[in-house]
Amino acid sequence: MRDFLQAVAALIGPAHLLTDAADTAPYTLDWRRRYQGLPLAVALPGSTAEAAELVKLCRRHQVAIVPQGGNTSTCGAATPDASGRQLVVTMRRLRAVRRLDADNNAITVEAGATLREVQLAAEQAGRLFPLSLASEGSCQIGGNLSTNAGGVAVLRYGTMRELTLGLEVVLPDGRVLDALAGLRKDTTGLDLKQWFIGAEGQLGLITAATLKLFPLPSARATALIGVDDIETAIRWLNGLRQRFDNRLTAFEVIEADCQQAIARHRPGQLPFTAPWLLLIELSDGGDDAALNEALLDWLAGQTPRDGVVAQSEAERRKLWLLREEISEIQKQDGPSIKHDIAVPTSALPQLVRDCGAALRQAYPGVRIVAFGHAGDGNLHYNISYTRPGNVDLFDDEPAVNAIVYDHVYRLGGTLAAEHGIGQLKPQWLERYKDPLALELMRTLKAALDPERLMNPGKWL
């Protein structure tokens, strides 16, 4: 391995190859602290050409690559194994905006730019890059693409898959696929960029992307509303869609157990509680007053338990902060068995009712901390309870998962709506995914990466 490391240091510069344990430590542990790896080293190439040569070197020396972005994956997708033989490759040095074509509503950025940096670059040109996640200050475009990230504005703008016009990818043999064109239409064969979106770094190293931009909204109306049940929440979702169409930008829910966790860790910040809280946002190109009035007018015809409509940008930020801090609050609240599930929005009430009843029967006293993007049918559905005798909660993880996923699949859902599979869920993918779909994905993997050097030990 010494020859290999010397060759890498000569290629990217010794300062950009981290080998000391103290330097590699931040890259070895996943965000939830569930997976601890031991890498051979961490490499930070400074250009696409360097990344391509690095991949060729890895192939020559049969060194496996674990691509890592901001390391915010919640399922261990970017964590190396414990063999001490895998090379973590991060794009942190590749973060330039290569081109911003405002007239084409497109931006070409390098994969190591954080999501926040891309949002800001778009804003400076009077445009919106609408992907929005609580981790946006740390996660990178390469990671967002590789997980097909979603977030709070999918309802209106779609996931990363819909937001991508083109990609630049270093293939596992070191060749560079340049498919960065900013086209909205192209019928010259298969759409190759889609192979790499959601692939969790198992098919290649993404080095740059051309992404869609949108007009910056000039008006926003944001409300926090309390309702009695999830049935009412879904009725509201459809009513708001009918009235406001795609001006409905976000529709998030926070259920009662989750509100209690917020109250425990951020006392006094929830203005009120209810069985379900809805965080609703509209946006358009008009003015705030008119949009607020339209929302208030619609609300006047409903019967919420309680509600508040933000009257200023500061109030709006405060409402969003409540939602954005939930993942961090849950981390402080102790371990939980996490699910990132989605069903058709019409099936959410049945899921909440039936799955909740099954869990309560199996685990009396269970806390079901449910929150998330109900407008997309996506719930973060996290289970915790105190086990008698202080037994580890995760001993029950397989049984809890089986209850949750059986209900989800019975309703036509998915076990990974936006966080991916990583190291956490491969066995569940095997159990629930159509075998033919898995076979086709593996055929692609074998064709592109026959030596299995791209992020091995994950799900492909």
Ligand X SMILES: Cc1cc2nc3c(=O)[nH]c(=O)nc-3n(C[C@H](O)[C@H](O)[C@H](O)COP(=O)(O)OP(=O)(O)OC[C@H]3O[C@@H](n4cnc5c(N)ncnc54)[C@H](O)[C@@H]3O)c2cc1C
Instruction: Give the interface with ligand X as residue ranges (CB under 6 A).
Output: 31, 67-74, 77-78, 91, 111, 133-135, 139-140, 142-144, 146-147, 149-151, 200-201, 205-206, 327, 418-419, 455
Cβ 161 to ligand X shortest distance, Å:
11
How many angstroms separate the CA atoms of 393 and 381, rounded? 16
Cβ 143 to ligand X shortest distance, Å:
2
Cβ 18 to ligand X shortest distance, Å:
16
Cβ 51 to ligand X shortest distance, Å:
9
Q: Which is nearer to ligand X, 45 or 307 (CB)?
A: 45
Six-digit token string for 351: 């899921």
- b/e code 123-154 from CB counts within 10 Å (16+ = b): eeeebbbbbbbbbbebbbbbbbbbbbbbbbbb
Strands 87-90, 164-170: pairing is: unpaired
Q: Which is nearer to ligand X, 222 or 378 (CB)?
A: 378
Residues 6+ apart with CB under 8 A from 300: none
Cβ 303 to ligand X shortest distance, Å:
30
- b/e code 294-323 from CB counts within 10 Å (16+ = b): bbeebbeeeebeebebbeeeeebebbbebb
Cβ 38 to ligand X shortest distance, Å:
17
Cβ 239 to ligand X shortest distance, Å:
24
Q: Which is nearer to ligand X, 151 or 172 (CB)?
A: 151
The one-letter amino acid code at 407 reads H
Helix (H, G, I), strand (E, B) or coil at 350: helix
E strands, 160-204, where? 164-170, 176-179
Residue nearest to ligand X (CB): 143
Q: Which is nearer to ligand X, 73 or 222 (CB)?
A: 73
Q: Which is nearer to ligand X, 143 or 377 (CB)?
A: 143
Q: Which is nearer to ligand X, 196 or 236 (CB)?
A: 196
Of 426, 430, 379, which Cα lies nearest the Cα of 407? 379
Six-digit token string for 166: 């083109």
How many angstroms separate the CA atoms of 106 and 318, rounded? 31
For 412-425, the DSSP string reads T-BSBSSS--TTTS
Number of alpha carbons in the 13 Å side-chain half-sphere of residue 275: 10
Phi, psi of 85 (to 5 degrees): -120, -5
Cβ 200 to ligand X shortest distance, Å:
3
Q: Which is nearer to ligand X, 219 or 444 (CB)?
A: 444
Q: Which is nearer to ligand X, 292 or 378 (CB)?
A: 378
